[in-house]
């Protein structure tokens, strides 16, 4: 079945450091790919998405490119802030009323 694998955390970075969170997927079809962020005690918020190969999703300084050849969707940010501390989930889905398939999440802590 379909699955998402993302790098184990936690990741601890200093403010203004470069962030990369790796995500790879296994899929039988051509899914859309997502990054969600979860702040403590809250639900999930969509951070960015890409619906087809070579698409780049971007939001709030984060970006990720849908790489079909490497089945990857790595999340990057050039300069993290303390407020970026959260858990980040990579996910995939197909069209129609199918649920999201999530990776295990990566906890990011940014220290001043």
Partner 1 sequence: GAVVSQHPSWVICKSGTSVKIECRSLDFQATTMFWYRQFPKQSLMLMATSNEGSKATYEQGVEKDKFLINHASLTLSTLTVTSAHPEDSSFYICSARHGDRAVGYTFGSGTRLTVV
- Name the site residues for partner 1 (rule: CB under 8 A): 32, 34, 36, 41-46, 49, 89, 93, 95, 97, 99-100, 102-105, 107
Dist. CA 14–CA 11, nearest whole Å: 10
Cβ proximity to partner 1, 40 vs 69, nearer residue: 40
Cβ proximity to partner 1, 18 vs 30, nearer residue: 30
Dist. CA 26–CA 38, nearest whole Å: 23
Cβ proximity to partner 1, 29 vs 99, nearer residue: 99
Dist. CA 42–CA 89, nearest whole Å: 13
Dist. CA 1–CA 12, nearest whole Å: 32
**Could you tell me how many helices (H) and strands (E) the chain has, helices first?**
0, 12
Cβ proximity to partner 1, 77 vs 89, nearer residue: 89
HSE-CB for 68 with a 13 A CA cutoff: 11
CB of 6 to partner 1, least distance (A): 9
CB of 18 to partner 1, least distance (A): 25
CB of 12 to partner 1, least distance (A): 15
């Amino acid at each position: 079945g379909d699955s998402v694998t993302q790098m184990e955390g936690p990741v601890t970075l200093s403010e203004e450091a470069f962030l990369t969170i790796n995500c790879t997927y296994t899929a039988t079809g051509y899914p859309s790919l997502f990054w969600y962020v979860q702040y403590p005690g809250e639900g999930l918020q969509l951070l960015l998405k890409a619906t087809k190969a070579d698409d780049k999703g971007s939001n709030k300084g984060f970006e990720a490119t849908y790489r079909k050849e490497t089945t990857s969707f790595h999340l990057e940010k050039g300069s993290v802030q303390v407020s970026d501390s959260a858990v980040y989930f990579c996910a995939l889905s197909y069209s129609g009323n199918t649920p999201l398939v999530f990776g295990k999440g990566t906890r990011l802590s940014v220290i001043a």
